[in-house]
Amino acid sequence: MAFELVYVSKVGNRSYWTKAHHFSKKDDDHYRWDSRAALVSAFDQLRQDYPTIFGQKKVDRFYIGQPGTTELEQLTTVTDSTANRTPVPAEVDVSPSWVSAKMAKKVKKDKKYYVVATRHEDSYHFLDTTLYENGGFVYPFNANVRRWKEEEKAVATAKTLTTNQRLWAKYPTFERQYLTVLDVRDGQVIWSTDEQQLDSIAVQVSQLSERLERLNQRLVSHFNDGERGTLTVTNQTADQPAFDLDTYNAVEFFRCLKYVLQCLVHRDQLNQFLGWYDGKIIQDQLHMVELTDLAAIDADKFVQYLQETRRIRREAKDLAVLVNTVADNMDVKNILNKLTGNMSLANHYQFRDHHAAEVLQNLILAVPRKETATTINAQTTRKV
């Protein structure tokens, strides 16, 4: 007898765990266990091995099925009855102040030491995968917080969360650069976005900057009147639409667009810079005031330093508000792909019909014609 792991959606659609390690609605390639107990035993391990896949699914929607039948047995009912079969590991001390006595006992029992958290208003908020569809953050540390036995799996989940737009959209005041993985035993930071994402951010910035520069070089040549040929128009439309090309023109538009895209390309660095002021500089200033005898502080110099740092922070904050708002509603990569792939923004024009090309090329007096050419490199001078 064989058993299958089945997930049932809200609308009743069934998905089956496959040999390729993902869920599928197809009727073939299902992963099958020899016994119900083997499936139950493997379930928790699958959730730890594939946190992204299982993290978005509610536990109470998992079922055990058998090939050839439509009947399902809810997995949570089975797992509850087998929960105590594994011996409890030895206890371990728990020291961070944000871990309550009740939670300390729970951690000592299951030895799941690693959690994903983010800093907000001087407190840690912890990942709870049971919240919403994509999980959420809770405070304080409680039994719903997702914990891992393996450090690398917690880190893998945290890295996935850094690009989860739906999750961060629920927390507009949270900064994703504060995302960390903590060891519950001593509160130590095992992994942080600040440190681990700098390399990938630098690579992405470099790639986008390089593409933007290539596009810039092409359009500079395209906009240069000195590199254009001449095509004259003898008959203009009598009712020509009105448009002010002196006020609104492609050269100025691209200059502004290029500046905006450059800001968007460096968005992560800007947020890192602002986070550094909020999370480190300001905190250092407050701690100095808190821990130092006021009589020992040079008040004039301190106020001057405070004003300077706050003004720098305000400049960064204003720019970040604008950049992040535009970035959340603009796809930089898509814009670069569209503009780069649009051959109208290049000094190369191609006739669409071979016979028309022969006729028109014979009408061009100023441009030498190649014997078998079907294309011309000519640019128009505008008349408005």
Q: What is the pLDDT of residues 116-158, one digit of tens each?
A: 999 887 788 999 988 877 789 999 999 999 999 998 899 889 8
pLDDT of 61 reads 86
- If asked whether residues 276 and 226 sit together in one domain, one would say yes
- If asked whether residues 218 and 298 sit together in one domain, one would say yes
Domain count, the chain: 3
Any idea what DSSP says for residue 29?
S
The residues of the chain scoring below 50 in pLDDT are: 79-92, 367, 369-384
- Distance, in Å, from the CA atom of 173 to the CA atom of 171, rounded to the nearest integer, reads 6
Q: Does residue 211 lie in a domain region?
A: yes
Q: Does residue 384 lie in a domain region?
A: no
pLDDT of 84 reads 41
Q: Does residue 372 lie in a domain region?
A: no
Give just the sign of the alpha carbon dihedral 320, 322, 325, 329: negative
- What is the domain range of residue 232? 199-341
- If asked whether residues 227 and 334 sit together in one domain, one would say yes
Q: Does residue 10 lie in a domain region?
A: yes
- If asked whether residues 310 and 235 sit together in one domain, one would say yes
- If asked whether residues 26 and 110 sit together in one domain, one would say no
pLDDT of 198 reads 52
pLDDT of 4 reads 93
Q: Which two tokens stand for residue 376?
A: 């011309």
pLDDT of 236 reads 55
- If asked whether residues 331 and 278 sit together in one domain, one would say yes
What lies within 8 Å, CB to CB, of 349 at 6+ separation is 375, 376, 377, 378
Rg over CA atoms, the chain = 31
What lies within 8 Å, CB to CB, of 56 at 6+ separation is 133, 134, 135
- If asked whether residues 32 and 51 sit together in one domain, one would say yes
CA nearest neighbour of 180 among 194, 160, 165: 194
The residue from 176, 194, 212 where one domain ends is: 194
Q: Which two tokens stand for residue 1?
A: 């007898």
- If asked whether residues 146 and 265 sit together in one domain, one would say no
- Distance, in Å, from the CA atom of 177 to the CA atom of 198, rounded to the nearest integer, reads 10
What lies within 8 Å, CB to CB, of 228 at 6+ separation is 347, 378, 379, 380, 381
CA nearest neighbour of 150 among 113, 116, 184, 186: 113
The residue from 50, 81, 112 where one domain ends is: 81
- Distance, in Å, from the CA atom of 272 to the CA atom of 268, rounded to the nearest integer, reads 6
Q: Does residue 316 lie in a domain region?
A: yes
Q: Does residue 91 lie in a domain region?
A: no
Q: Does residue 376 lie in a domain region?
A: no
Name the residue with tokens 């020992």. 296
The residue from 174, 194, 214 where one domain ends is: 194
- If asked whether residues 73 and 156 sit together in one domain, one would say no
- If asked whether residues 218 and 321 sit together in one domain, one would say yes
Q: Does residue 90 lie in a domain region?
A: no
pLDDT of 368 reads 53
- If asked whether residues 256 and 168 sit together in one domain, one would say no
pLDDT of 37 reads 84
- If asked whether residues 115 and 220 sit together in one domain, one would say no
Name the residue with tokens 């942080």. 192
